[in-house]
Amino acid sequence: MNKNLTIKIGNKKEEKTENQFMQISVRDNKLKAIINVYNPENNDAYQAVYRNEDPIHEEFMYIMHGLIFHVEQLVGAEIPNLIVEGYYRQPSGDAELLTIYAAIRSERVCRLNFAVRVHLGAEDYPYMDRLLDDLACCEAEALKYIHEGKRFGCEMFIQFAA
């Protein structure tokens, strides 16, 4: 899904770009995103990697949690204590292959780790519209970190307490 964004870098003029998320992952409670960026004004394309050094908000994990429904539908079983750690998109012919990474983890070990795949635009997945909406929500929340500098919620509390 392409997002049209206006970006400003330093004192440069604002440029409209088209961005497509290729990967969103959460590891050690930190966000990593890989984005394909295209600037139609100068016909330039590149890949940007974003890493958030601060912990993510619970609401981001809640939004990622929405992808569990799709993992369970694609696997055909309900899986207790499952968490979604991210997803990766890649071109695949006329469609796009989406790989969702999920795991069951405890404090010390990873008990189960797997990936499920679905072709966006090529498979007859009955919940495709819901999946696309859930992916759009994940990407919209990631944009809050990337473009709005969203930080961990208790920073304000720490600032006042100091």
* pLDDT at 155 exceeding the cut of 80: no
> CA triplet 155, 54, 141: central angle to 5 degrees?
95
**Overall average pLDDT of the 12-20 stretch:** 63
* pLDDT at 111 exceeding the cut of 60: yes
Residue pair 6/16 in contact by the 8 Å Cβ criterion: yes
Question: What amino acid is encoded at 90 in this protein?
Answer: Q
Nearest CA among 72, 79, 98, 103 for reference residue 87: 98
CA distance 158 to 161: 5
* DSSP letter assigned to residue 58: H
Residue pair 99/114 in contact by the 8 Å Cβ criterion: no
Residue pair 31/144 in contact by the 8 Å Cβ criterion: no
CA distance 67 to 137: 10
DSSP codes joined into one string, 83-123? EEEEEEEEEETTEEEEEEEEEEE-SS-EEEEEEEEEEETTS
- Per residue in 52-104, pLDDT (tens digit) is 888 888 888 899 999 999 999 999 999 998 999 999 999 888 889 999 999 98
